Chain A
């Protein structure tokens, strides 16, 4: 190959590149769109998983809302206090005191596959929403966990696994309280609870004690044993279900010891 060919190739490709580059430079001026630099900085701080726990359309929407003043620096639930502090620093806020008790997701059902009775065998799609649509699900308890793992697939942090008893187990170290599993559960069994509380009611059934006993070994039968043993007036049976007042509860665990069905749980181990 003679050198003239190299020169020609350089001119052809270099010239095309120069022309295209020049046109792009002109276009970037003509079609310039002003973007608040803080939006991009905050977007870089956010986790970027678009979980929607903040109630805004993804992390891009959250960054824009925070800069526009429509959301606070603590809007990102999944990011927690670390992200809140970083966002606050970018916005020039005093964030030395971002504290508070974190929430964690809790499966409020203790009826595993050995405890709860079935009225038919579900053999459809492995999805709780779909099972719920087939005559209200295969369980005799209308409040019980279907155990088909919709919460597991919905969790963007892989914090939920299916336990040997057929119930989902949530790893609180991984849980960011984004609320994706809460939305995914068709029976509303999963809720966010304060991380520092150890005693929780693992049942959602409002049926009468006799009916609960007939379908589940671990359901709340509204016997009021917990109510009687509590010295702090922190637990009451309301509409056939034990309810704990978290402000009054001191985690003395006397109710846990007294509960005949074991629907009151001590989550000390879960807290780690």
Chain B
């Protein structure tokens, strides 16, 4: 249980995918202009990321590793899985909730190319890239906890940042700093704040 908690905390805060690892910055700056769309994007990412990691874990354990082709084939294989999953999620949402589909329509296909999903899946099944102070070789349960942590970390930061940007838009700042320049500075300061979590519980 303690190991699961540490895996979650490491993925959620200490090695936050956006502010510490600087992965998926495209969607971070693209979708965080509006509070509501950032919530929609977060929900989609949590769903797709969790499913993608679970399926990729299975593909790695039962197909790529036993056949000895995993080392050089895992990225195309995972991209294939993620793209198929996004298509599947799109079909399900279109059928089940047309309203949600309309609201998220633009962002759903974006998730296919969201590097965060690929990074989370890779780290779940082939850990080492993020250099955590934890023993690797995750089980399926640990892999899912890790992915949920990453996805919630992404959601926390993008929603928090969207709230900040809505205030920054109406703040009296110099014209040359409006828009992306001030957003990059705000993201940098938030990143510094998240560095404060480093070393928590020895992770």
Residue ranges of A at the interface with B (Cβ–Cβ < 8 Å): 5, 8-9, 11-13, 15-17, 20-21, 23-24, 27-28, 31-33, 60, 124-126
Residue ranges of B at the interface with A (Cβ–Cβ < 8 Å): 59, 63-64, 67-69, 72-73, 76-77, 80-81, 84, 87-88, 91-92, 94-95, 98, 102, 170, 172, 175
Contact assessment for B88 and A8 in the assembled complex, using a CB-CB cutoff below 8 Å: no
A20 to B81, CA, bound (A): 7
Given known A-B contacts A8-B68, A31-B94, A16 and B77 have beta carbons under 8 A apart: yes
Contact assessment for A12 and B73 in the assembled complex, using a CB-CB cutoff below 8 Å: yes
A29 to B68, CA, bound (A): 35
A8 to B87, CA, bound (A): 27
Contact assessment for A23 and B80 in the assembled complex, using a CB-CB cutoff below 8 Å: no
Contact assessment for B80 and A20 in the assembled complex, using a CB-CB cutoff below 8 Å: yes
Contact assessment for B94 and A33 in the assembled complex, using a CB-CB cutoff below 8 Å: yes
Contact assessment for B84 and A20 in the assembled complex, using a CB-CB cutoff below 8 Å: yes
A-B contact pairs, 19 of them (CB 8 A): A5-B69, A8-B68, A9-B69, A9-B72, A9-B73, A12-B63, A12-B64, A12-B73, A12-B77, A13-B77, A16-B63, A17-B80, A24-B87, A24-B88, A27-B88, A33-B95, A124-B172, A125-B170, A125-B172
In the complex, the chain B residue whose C-beta lies closest to that of A15 is B63
Contact assessment for A12 and B69 in the assembled complex, using a CB-CB cutoff below 8 Å: yes
SS class of chain A's interface: helix, strand, loop or mixed?
helix
Residues of chain A within 8 A of B68, CB atoms compared: 5, 8
A31 to B77, CA, bound (A): 25
Residues of chain A within 8 A of B172, CB atoms compared: 124-125
Residues of chain A within 8 A of B73, CB atoms compared: 9, 12-13
A249 to B62, CA, bound (A): 83
In the complex, the chain B residue whose C-beta lies closest to that of A61 is B102
Residues of chain B within 8 A of A125, CB atoms compared: 170, 172
Distance between A8 CB and nearest chain B CB, rounded to angstroms: 5
